């Protein structure tokens, strides 16, 4: 079975659209997402444009605040403080990666945790790790929703996550622990990578190595989630060798059309949740 990320994303966005409509009627207010984009890195430009387009489609307000790549860090910090105070703004996102002279942690730490739609602020990271209410990073949240679209009860399942990033691997671990999975994180220094992966009931690949996961890396009947977006000879491919693995898996996400569309839907979901909480 191929997990249709586009369809799942459409379903979630329809639900968000209806909720915004009914909240607008009741409160006369609309959620608003502010995105800060620094520099002209092409993938970031594309991501941000898609985020704005989809926000508008669900009836959300959105703005992109653009800066030249040599903007001083303090200008960005001042802007974030201003957005934090602005009652009309529900969510703030600073697109990564940042230019080298800007320290990521200074930026992330400035965003009000209640408007941190990425869930990257240490307050949200800590709340998630403690099992408290938290804003959950969009990519792992999307992955979990895709897994649950094929299997509701994950209790006791062995999940293996390839990659230990703050954006995906680490928060994914917390989400799957909450679902009562047994979780293993593997990474570039792990010994017997293939053997570890082949024991997974749920395998999540988020390393950025094109087609790393081969047929003999996966257990028959497992669920495979491919977070990779790699450009190879003008084609986008995932971290999983889809053609080989699809025959062995119970369910698998394609690239493109799997995790990607779900990530943006989850961003809109987080923005709506921030709006409701305020």
Summarize as ranges the residues that interact with ligand GUN (CB under 6 A): 93-96, 118, 138-139, 167
Map residue 218 onto helix, strand or coil: coil
Alpha-carbon gap, residue 210 to 240, rounded angstroms: 7
Q: How far is the CB of 23 from ligand GUN (least distance, A)?
A: 25
Q: How far is the CB of 56 from ligand GUN (least distance, A)?
A: 19
Which of these, 241, 161, 167, lies nearest to 204 by C-alpha position? 161
Q: How far is the CB of 115 from ligand GUN (least distance, A)?
A: 13
Would you say 134 or 197 has its CB closer to ligand GUN?
A: 134
Would you say 175 or 249 has its CB closer to ligand GUN?
A: 175
Which of these, 145, 167, 137, lies nearest to 223 by C-alpha position? 145
Is 14 among the catalytic positions? no
Indicate the DSSP class of residue 207.
S
Would you say 208 or 257 has its CB closer to ligand GUN?
A: 208
Q: How far is the CB of 99 from ligand GUN (least distance, A)?
A: 14
Alpha-carbon gap, residue 38 to 246, rounded angstroms: 38
Is 51 among the catalytic positions? yes
Q: How far is the CB of 267 from ligand GUN (least distance, A)?
A: 7
Alpha-carbon gap, residue 84 to 207, rounded angstroms: 33
SS (H, E, C) 20-68: HHHHHHHHCCCCEEEEEEECCCHHHHHHHHHHHHHHHHCCCEEEEEEEC
Would you say 33 or 94 has its CB closer to ligand GUN?
A: 94
Exposed, middle or buried: residue 105 (CB in 10 Å: 0-12, 13-18, 19+)? exposed
Is 194 among the catalytic positions? no
Per annotation, catalytic residue among 32, 51, 170, 211: 51
Q: Tell me the β-bridge partners of 252.
A: 2, 224
Per annotation, catalytic residue among 118, 201, 226, 241: 118
Per annotation, catalytic residue among 8, 95, 145, 170: 95
Would you say 102 or 167 has its CB closer to ligand GUN?
A: 167
Catalytic sites, residue numbers: 51, 95, 118
């Amino acid at each position: 079975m191929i997990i249709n990320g586009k369809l799942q994303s459409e379903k979630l966005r329809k639900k968000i659209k209806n909720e915004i409509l009914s909240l607008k009627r009741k409160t006369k207010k609309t959620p608003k997402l502010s995105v800060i984009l620094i520099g002209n890195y092409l993938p970031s430009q594309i991501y941000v444009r898609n985020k704005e387009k989809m926000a508008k489609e669900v009836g959300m307000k959105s703005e992109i605040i653009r800066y030249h790549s040599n903007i001083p860090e303090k200008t960005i910090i001042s802007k974030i403080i201003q957005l934090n105070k602005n009652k009309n703004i529900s969510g703030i996102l600073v697109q990564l990666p940042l230019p080298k002279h800007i320290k990521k942690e200074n930026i992330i730490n400035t965003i009000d945790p209640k408007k941190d739609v990425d869930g990257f602020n240490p307050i949200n990271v800590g709340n998630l790790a403690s099992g408290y209410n938290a804003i959950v990073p969009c990519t792992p949240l999307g992955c979990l929703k895709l897994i649950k679209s094929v299997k509701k009860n994950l209790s006791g399942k062995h999940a293996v996550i390839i990659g230990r990033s703050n954006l995906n691997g680490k928060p994914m671990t917390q989400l799957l622990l909450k679902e009562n999975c047994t979780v293993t994180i593997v990474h570039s220094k792990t010994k017997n990578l293939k053997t570890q992966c082949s024991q997974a009931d749920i395998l999540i690949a988020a390393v950025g190595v094109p087609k790393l996961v081969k047929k003999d890396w996966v257990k028959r009947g497992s669920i495979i989630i491919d977070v990779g977006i790699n450009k190879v000879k003008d084609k986008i491919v995932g971290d999983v060798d889809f053609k080989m693995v699809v025959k062995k898996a119970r369910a698998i996400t394609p690239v493109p059309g799997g995790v990607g569309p779900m990530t943006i839907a989850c961003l809109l979901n987080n923005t709506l949740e921030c709006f409701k909480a305020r």
